[in-house]
Amino acid sequence: MTSGPTLLGGSSFALFGVGLLLWTVTRLWQRLPVAAGVPQVTAATLAGCVGVLSAAVGGWLLLSG
């Protein structure tokens, strides 16, 4: 059974990662900047990597707890 802190941490990481991925894809789809003052490809790549990593850590925490 997953403990309280692990459940909270896993949920937070997973929701943040999925939210960041959805936001990044939406900004790219609408051809809007992902981050101000940063080239589009760099910002999208960094945001995508952080989103995937965060969602993976959240899933790992939820499944391993």
Predicted model pTM: 0.89
For residue 17, how many other CB atoms are within 10 A of its CB? Answer: 20
Q: Give 24's contacts (C-beta < 8 A, 6+ positions apart).
A: 34, 44, 47, 48, 51
- CA angle 65-18-7, nearest 5°? 20
pLDDT in tens, the chain (65 residues): 568 889 999 999 999 999 999 999 999 999 999 999 999 999 999 999 999 999 999 999 999 86
